[in-house]
Structure 1
Amino acid sequence: MLKKRIVYISGFLLSAAVLLVACDKKFLDQETTGLLTEQQAQSLKGAQQFLVGSYAALKGIGWEGGGSNWVYGSIVGGEANKGSDAGDQANIVPIQQYAPLPTNSYFNIKWQALYEGIARTNATIRILNNLAESDIAPAAKEQMLAEARFLRGYYHFEAKKMWNNIPYVDETINVSSAKVGNTEDTWPKIMEDLNFARTTLAVNPGAVGRINKWGADAMYAKALLYQGKYAEARPIFTDIINNGRTSNDIPYDLAPSFHDNFNPDRENDAAVRAESVFAYEASINDGSGGFNANYDHILNFPYNGGPGGCCGFFQPSFEFVNSFRTNANGLPLLDGSYNVGANQVISDMGLESSAPFTPDAGRLDPRLDWTVGRRGLPFLDWGPHPGKAWIRDQGNGGPYAPKKMSYYRSQQGRLTDGTNWTSGLTSTNYKIIRFADVLLMAAEAEIDGGGSLETARGYVNQVRARAAKPETFVVDEDGNNAANYVIGLYNTAWTDANVARQAVRFERKLELGMEGHRFFDLVRWGVADVELNAFLNYEKPKLSAGYGSATFTKGKNEYFPIPQDQIDLHTSGGSSTLQQNPGYN
Structure 2
Amino acid sequence: MKRINIKIGAIAASCLMALVISCDDYLEVLPTGQLGQVQLTTTAGLDASLIAVYSQVNGRNLRMASPSNWVWGSIRGGDANKGTDPGDFNTINPIERFETEATNVNPAENWRGLYEGVARANNVLRLMMDRAPDVTEADVVRISAETRFLRGHFYFQLKRNFNNTPYVDETVDYKAGIEEVSNNQDLWPLIEADFKYAAENLPATQREVGRVNEWAAKTYLAKVYLYQNKFTEAKALFDDIIANGVTSNGKKYDLVPYYEDVFRGANDNHEESIWAYQSAAGTGSVNNANPEFDLNFPYNTLPGNCCGFFAPSFTFVNSFRTNANGLPLLDDSYNDPGNRVKNDMNIATADPFTPDTGNLDPRVDHTVGRRGLPYLDWEDHQGSIWIRKQDWAGPYSPKKYVYTRDEQSGFLDNSSWTPGYTGINITILRFADVLLMAAEAEVELGNLEVARGYVNRVRERAMNSKLKREDGSMAANYVIELYSAPWTDAETARKAVRFERKLELGMEGHRFYDLVRWNTIQEEMDRYFALEGVLLPAQMGGAQFTDKHKLLPIPQGQIDLVGPDILIQNPGF
Give TM-score scaled by structure 1 length.
Answer: 0.92
What secondary structure does 2:13 align onto?
coil
Amino acid at match of 2:280: S
C-alpha displacement at 1:175, in angstroms?
Answer: 3.8
Is 1:267 equivalent to 2:268 in the alignment?
Answer: yes
Partner of 1:336: 332
Q: Distance in 1 between matches of 2:410 and 2:234?
A: 41
What secondary structure does 1:342 align onto?
coil
Amino acid at match of 1:151: L
Alignment of 1:259-408 (within 5 A): 259-268=260-269, 273-288=270-285, 290-408=286-404
Q: Distance in 1 between matches of 2:358 and 2:10?
A: 47
C-alpha displacement at 1:231, in angstroms?
Answer: 1.4
Partner of 1:566: 558
Amino acid at match of 1:280: Y
Q: Distance in 2 between matches of 1:35 and 1:537?
A: 56
CA RMSD of aligned residues (A): 1.9
C-alpha displacement at 1:265, in angstroms?
Answer: 1.5
8 Å CA contact 2:439–2:450 kept in 1: the answer is yes
Is 1:151 equivalent to 2:158 in the alignment?
Answer: no
What secondary structure does 1:208 align onto?
coil
C-alpha displacement at 1:15, in angstroms?
Answer: 6.6
8 Å CA contact 2:62–2:110 kept in 1: the answer is no
Give TM-score scaled by structure 2 length.
Answer: 0.94
C-alpha displacement at 1:36, in angstroms?
Answer: 3.8
Q: Distance in 1 between matches of 2:38 and 2:437?
A: 42
Partner of 2:473: 480
8 Å CA contact 1:474–1:481 kept in 2: the answer is yes
C-alpha displacement at 1:341, in angstroms?
Answer: 1.9
Partner of 1:578: 567
C-alpha displacement at 1:34, in angstroms?
Answer: 3.7
Structure showing the higher helix proportion among its residues: 2
Alignment of 1:181-330 (within 5 A): 181-268=182-269, 273-288=270-285, 290-330=286-326
Instruction: Flag the 1:10–1:276 CA change in 2: closer, same or farther, 3 A.
Output: same
Partner of 2:131: 131
Instruction: Flag the 1:551–1:155 CA change in 2: closer, same or farther, 3 A.
Output: same
Partner of 1:22: none
What secondary structure does 1:541 align onto?
helix
C-alpha displacement at 1:140, in angstroms?
Answer: 2.5
Amino acid at match of 1:236: L
Q: Distance in 1 between matches of 2:32 and 2:477?
A: 59
Alignment of 1:35-46 (within 5 A): 35-36=34-35, 40-46=39-45
Alignment of 1:32-111 (within 5 A): 33-36=32-35, 40-60=39-59, 61-111=61-111
Amino acid at match of 1:321: V
What secondary structure does 1:557 align onto?
helix
8 Å CA contact 1:44–1:128 kept in 2: the answer is no
8 Å CA contact 2:370–2:396 kept in 1: the answer is yes
Which runs of 5 or more residues in structure 1 are unaligned? Answer: 1-6, 17-28
Q: Distance in 1 between matches of 2:546 and 2:530?
A: 14
Amino acid at match of 1:466: R
C-alpha displacement at 1:318, in angstroms?
Answer: 0.2
8 Å CA contact 1:197–1:213 kept in 2: the answer is yes
Q: Distance in 2 between matches of 1:412 and 1:31?
A: 42
What secondary structure does 2:144 align onto?
helix
Partner of 2:4: none
Q: Distance in 2 between matches of 1:491 and 1:58?
A: 41
8 Å CA contact 2:322–2:479 kept in 1: the answer is yes
What secondary structure does 1:334 align onto?
coil
Which runs of 5 or more residues in structure 2 are unaligned? Answer: 1-8, 19-27
CA shift digits 1:472-493 (9 cap, x unpaired): 3211232211000111000000
Amino acid at match of 2:318: N
Amino acid at match of 1:152: R
Partner of 2:112: 112
Q: Once the two structures are aligned, what percentage of the paired residues are identical?
A: 50
Alignment of 1:397-436 (within 5 A): 397-436=393-432
CA shift digits 1:15-40 (9 cap, x unpaired): 79xxxxxxxxxxxx996544446565
What secondary structure does 1:464 align onto?
helix
Q: Distance in 1 between matches of 2:329 and 2:417?
A: 43
Q: Distance in 2 between matches of 1:195 and 1:514?
A: 29
8 Å CA contact 2:215–2:241 kept in 1: the answer is yes
Q: Distance in 1 between matches of 2:267 and 2:142?
A: 30
C-alpha displacement at 1:342, in angstroms?
Answer: 2.0
What secondary structure does 1:278 align onto?
strand
CA shift digits 1:543-578 (9 cap, x unpaired): 111123211112x0110001111112223xxx5521
What secondary structure does 2:265 align onto?
coil
CA shift digits 1:50-79 (9 cap, x unpaired): 101111111114422222110000000000
Q: 31-40 vs 144-153, which deviates more?
A: 31-40
C-alpha displacement at 1:173, in angstroms?
Answer: 1.1
C-alpha displacement at 1:8, in angstroms?
Answer: 11
